[in-house]
Amino acid sequence: MNDEVFEAYREAGRIAHRILNAGAGMVRPGASLLETVETVEGMVLEADAGLAFPLNCSLNEAAAHDTASEGDERIFAAGDLVKLDLGVHLDGYVADTAVTIDLGDHCELVAASRAGLDAAIALVRPGVAAGELGAAIQAAIEGRGYHPVRNLTGHGLERYVQHARPSIPNVGHPGGAVLAEGQVVAIEPFASTGSGVVSEAARAEIYGQVATRPVRLPAARQALELVRERQGMPFSRRWLDMPKREIALATLVRQGVFRTYPVLHDVPGSFVAQAEHTLVVVEDGCVVTTA
Ligand code: MN
Ligand code: MN
């Protein structure tokens, strides 16, 4: 990795860290979810950076992939456990970082996800196996009496690609990828009071373009035009300001041009906490870009 690319990752990380902290401060009982999401996303654009994906704002048993819908009337309430997951990019170099805000009595659960992240970061260096990081995450979370979420993982980052190889599991696995100097990875342990397995909800507000092919429906063509600048990075339904949006989205999903990212949740009544940092693997360890 050359110095210019390294500095882009560092600067994206600094911006993400600052804005995620500001966003966390807005999450209070009585605050609007939609206003919070739009304010945070607006701060990224004001910083002359791009959003690598819509701000994820997932509540309680929802682990990931929720965000505000247009006209979303949800209000944060006492007792909620709120995950904010922010992706900032500079010229495609991504900082991916998440924090959990506890509006109830889940501070030990939140601490467990953070301990998993700290334990994994402490092990990162060239030559470490992704499975060793997963084992450290699993031990930290299970040692505190919770379940790591087994079917969500950290991931590599490449230019404009938010989910690249290698995947960094949240449980121990023998073998698997070995990290190398210059790789950029996001590590994101989830700790749950539920089953430790997430499944897809019906709700989907986040989309991504996964194929390019000619489409005939004018509304679908317009939607494709609007998201072209995303270069495959996810976008939200709320961002798509056009008539006939719903028919366009449905058509493009049916034709395999767009995919949805449904909300991922653990069992009803459970609580899931997440912590995430992006880091660059360097000769003697790693540099966390988002701290
Ligand atoms: Mn993330
Ligand atoms: Mn991530």
- Backbone φ and ψ for 204, nearest 5 degrees, come out as -140, 115
Three-class secondary structure of residue 228 per DSSP: helix
Q: Residue 201's pLDDT is what?
A: 97
Residues around the ion ligand 1 (C-beta < 5 A):
85, 96, 98, 276
- Assign a CATH topology to domain 206-261: Arc Repressor Mutant, subunit A (1.10.10)
What are the pLDDT digits (tens) for 28-51? 999 999 999 999 999 999 999 999
pLDDT, block means (10 residues), the chain with 291 residues: 96 98 98 98 98 98 98 98 98 98 98 98 98 98 98 97 93 91 98 98 97 95 96 96 97 98 98 98 98 95
Centre of ligand 2 to C-alpha 186, Å, is 5
Q: Which of 17, 106, 276, 277 is catalytic?
A: 276
Q: Which of 72, 80, 85, 132 is catalytic?
A: 85
CATH 1.10.10.10 in the chain, residue ranges: 206-261
- Assign a CATH topology to domain 3-201+267-288: Creatine Amidinohydrolase (3.90.230)
17 among known catalytic residues? no
Q: Residue 159's pLDDT is what?
A: 96
Residues 6+ apart with CB under 8 A from 240: 223, 226, 227, 248, 249
155 among known catalytic residues? yes
CATH 3.90.230.10 in the chain, residue ranges: 3-201+267-288
106 among known catalytic residues? no
Q: Which ligand is the nearest neighbour of the Cα of 184?
A: 2
